[in-house]
Chains A and B, each alone.
Chain A
Amino acid sequence: MAGFGTSVGRPIYGRGPSPGLRFTVYALLSLTLMYLDQRARWSERLRYGMQAAAYPVQVAVHSPAAAWHWFTDSFSTRSTLRAQNLELRSQVNALQLGLLRQRALERENEQLRELRQALPPLVKKWLVAEVISVDSGTLRQRLIIDKGARDGVHINQPVVDGFGVMGQVAHVGPWSSEVILITDPEHALPVQITRTGLRTIAVGSGNADELLLTYLAANSDVRSGDELTSSGLGGIFPAGYPVGHITGVRREANQLLAQVRAEPQAKIDRAREVMLIEFDPANPAAPVKP
């Protein structure tokens, strides 16, 4: 390292330690950081602080989009508001009907199970968070949301929208957190095919509209259109939350595994608001950490 480029470099860098030495120091520093981040949970604290420092910049970067949404929201015309209102009202009616039916079913279920007292609700607490930054590359599918440890967000907390499972919290800062989406290539979600009860794992593809079911045997009973729900394994999501539906199955004679693709139910790339759920561990349906 010392002999490299000496004829050019030496006379100029009279001040301070030589570039080679400085680089060695920086390299050791970053290697230590990488080691800590990879091996030890300790670096989560460091990240926590840095996430706090990064928050203002993230908000600033997001502000043009936020301003645009505010602008379109506040200047939307009477007729569009009326139309929206009508639509929402009919949605509320439909949901209320569904809720009545669900209550009846829950009661019936309780009677069937002969439970003396009503179970505590599965969802103990939920929190609406706004998306302040989207990272949707082919390698990373992440969201930054505007709720953090101060609001009670914790790591591995499930994130859903009104349609299905979106992801889980990967890093928490004081005022913001990072959500890893189910479509992130580093994310794997235990799922179940509702038609057959077959359990498997859905891995993110890197595209916001695709999941890959990479561990299904070529002779497994799966076809296009099958519904996927969370299987409740893995200890993060409870069983039965909608995840998506199968869009394509390809079987090749010389391969043991089928190539199965699915489309997520949640509006992964369009959501402006997401919901963070906390489950009541007293309910038997709540996910249990293995």
Chain B
Amino acid sequence: MRSREHLLVILFTSIVALVLNILPLPQWLQVIRPAFLVLAVLYWSTMAPFVAGMALGFVGGLALDVFQGSLLGEHALVLAFLTYLALRLNLLMRAKPIFEQSLYVLVALIAYETLLWLIDGWTGRSLSNPLRWVHTLTGALIWPVVVGVLGRFHSSR
């Protein structure tokens, strides 16, 4: 029962994150907008690794591909990889204070963007626009807020 409840919460918050992720915004906001879906997926795969596994990352990534029109499977691959890492290292990360978690998240987001950048390059879409890296910083900065908000949804740790 418990894990089914969990699953609903995870799906709901992930859909909200997806909407936040694709909401049309003015350009300057778009640049600093953190990748909400990636943060949500990271949170759930570290905090509830039994319920939200790689399937969440894969499906979420596919949704991003469809909505953003990127190469189909690109975000899916990278997000599945991030969830894989999160599943492997979740105990390590969960024990850390929030500030240190933010650093882990920063590293994860940089890895995420680097992989996307590489795939973009290999498939002939490479553009060395430095602005694409801005969201890794804002994402790490907003991590405590993500933990605070999503933490309300599941009391049992």
Contacts and interface: CB of A to CB of B under 8 A. Distances in A.
The size bracket of the interface on B is 35 or more
Nearest to A9: B88
B71 A37 contact: yes
B80 interface: yes
Interface string A16-58: 0001101100110111111011100001001100110110011
A31 B67 contact: no
> Which residue among A4, A138, A142, A171 has the maximum number of chain B CB atoms within 10 Å of its CB?
A138
Contacts of B49: 12
B147 interface: no
Contacts of B81: 23, 27
Interface residues of A, number: 50
B31 A32 contact: no
Main secondary structure of the interface of A (DSSP, over half): helix
Given A23-B81, A29-B73, A206-B129, A38 B123 contact: yes
A136 interface: yes
Nearest to B15: A57
B19 interface: yes
Interface of B: 18-19, 22-24, 27, 30-31, 49, 53-54, 57-58, 61-63, 66-69, 71-74, 76-77, 80-81, 84, 87-89, 91-92, 119, 123, 125, 127, 129, 131-132
Interface of A: 4-5, 8-9, 12-13, 19-20, 22-23, 26-27, 29-34, 36-38, 43, 46-47, 50-51, 53-54, 57-58, 60-62, 65, 133-140, 142, 170-171, 178, 185-186, 206, 208
